[in-house]
Amino acid sequence: TRGLVPEKDVEQLQKLAKAINADFDENLALSKNVSATNVRGNSKKYAAANVTDDNPDSYWATDDQVKTASLEIDFQQPIEMNRFLVQEDIRLGQRVKEFSVEAFINDEWKEVAHETTIGRKRILRFPNITAHKLRFNVIDSKACPVITNIEVYKAPKVLVQPEILRDKNGMVTIKSFDTGLDIYYTINNSVPSEQSEKYSSPFLLNKKAIVKAVAVDPATGNKSPVTTSEFDIPHTKWKMIGMTGLETNAENCIDGNPATALSPDQKLPVDFIVDLGESYNLKGFKYLPDQGRWNPGIIFNYEFYVSSDGKKWGEPVSQGEFSNIKNSPVWQEKQFEPVSGRFIKLRALSPAEENGKVGIAELDVVTQ
């Protein structure tokens, strides 16, 4: 209403800009020696050195009949790198159909990337390697390749919040976005640090707990923001009921994996019923909609029931809508007056998307 970009969005955009600038701070290939297996007409106009001269109007090209060729960049000393940028002169069309990148490590060539098209610009990201030569191979091309630019960088580690997941059996997995980072975590709601438990492999957490984790770059000491995940009772004994014909993926909505979902092809209303395995005192539930990018199933209007026997449901303990869920398909939490029960039912009354689909990536409860 102020006609301004929200402050939080501005903050995130500034962080993104800072990260991008850091990624491409120093081009390690600039003006380095380059050789090629073929140069168009052996002319300097199409020389291999054109790919590292920082001139967008120059390029390396091969003879018309040559659609497979290689460029070799010699850094003259071992350097550490983790980004490779390559560009075709798109004014002459997109030509490369397949290419690879090799690094000369410990006196032998090792493939670090194998990709398809390039187009105007292709940036490859790979774990840190140390090499004194790189080789760019055009494996297949529609016509003779025309490469205008190659750049190489050593980008700092990407320090974003680690991902914390707990599966149906109560095993917790913590993942960092980048490689080569240390992860420290706590399960008592305290702030994690290098003095906290260091994550090495999945661990069992079969109780209510608040898990916090931070990723640390051991080389610089820089840290990511802290991730906080609040886990309630484990889903070990949970079972989906009444999903006839969907037995193979019925438990996708209680498996602890947001990437899987249950989106039944049924007429509305659709009932999602879960047997919790034993009775609990419940005071709320949490719903994560289908996280699929294309054609997701998202519930808009709902009713939520609790039952002791799975037969008598009575009136819903919560009902209404998941406001703005189409634009913000994140975890939704609804609270209600405490009630005891073993069975829960989330009834989907209407979809948020025009596709008419309703679905659940994850369903959880909030206990007393």
Tokens of 61: 């090209």
Closest CA to 322 of 294, 354, 351, 342: 351
User: Going along 205-261, which residue ranges are E strands?
Assistant: 209-216, 227-231, 239-241
Residue 247 main-chain phi, psi, to 5 deg: -60, -30
Q: Are 146 and 63 in contact, with CB atoms under 8 Å apart?
A: no
- For residue range 21-76, list pLDDT tens digits in order: 888 999 999 999 999 999 999 999 999 999 999 999 999 999 999 999 999 999 99
What's the CA gap between 34 and 133, in Å, rounded?
10
Does residue 220 register a pLDDT over 70? Answer: yes
Does residue 248 register a pLDDT over 80? Answer: no
What's the CA gap between 302 and 354, in Å, rounded?
17
Tell me which of 249 and 47 has the higher pLDDT: 47
Does residue 228 register a pLDDT over 70? Answer: yes
pLDDT confidence of residue 249:
84
Residue 144 main-chain phi, psi, to 5 deg: -55, 135
pLDDT confidence of residue 247:
61
The percentage of residues in the chain with a pLDDT greater than 70, rounded to a whole number, is 99
Q: How many CA atoms within 13 Å lie on the side-chain side of 137?
A: 13
Q: What SS3 string covers 258-282? A: CCCCECCCCCCCEEEEEEEEEEEEE
Q: Of the ranges 157-161, 197-201, 219-223, 245-249, which one carries the lowest mean pLDDT score? A: 245-249
- For residue range 71-129, list pLDDT tens digits in order: 999 999 999 999 999 999 999 999 999 999 999 999 999 999 999 999 999 999 998 99
Helices (H), the chain: 7-23
Q: Are 198 and 175 in contact, with CB atoms under 8 Å apart?
A: no
- For residue range 178-213, list pLDDT tens digits in order: 888 999 999 999 999 999 999 999 999 999 999 999
pLDDT confidence of residue 290:
96
Does residue 246 register a pLDDT over 70? Answer: no
Does residue 245 register a pLDDT over 70? Answer: no
Compute the mean pLDDT over every residue in the chain, rounded to the nearest whole number: 95
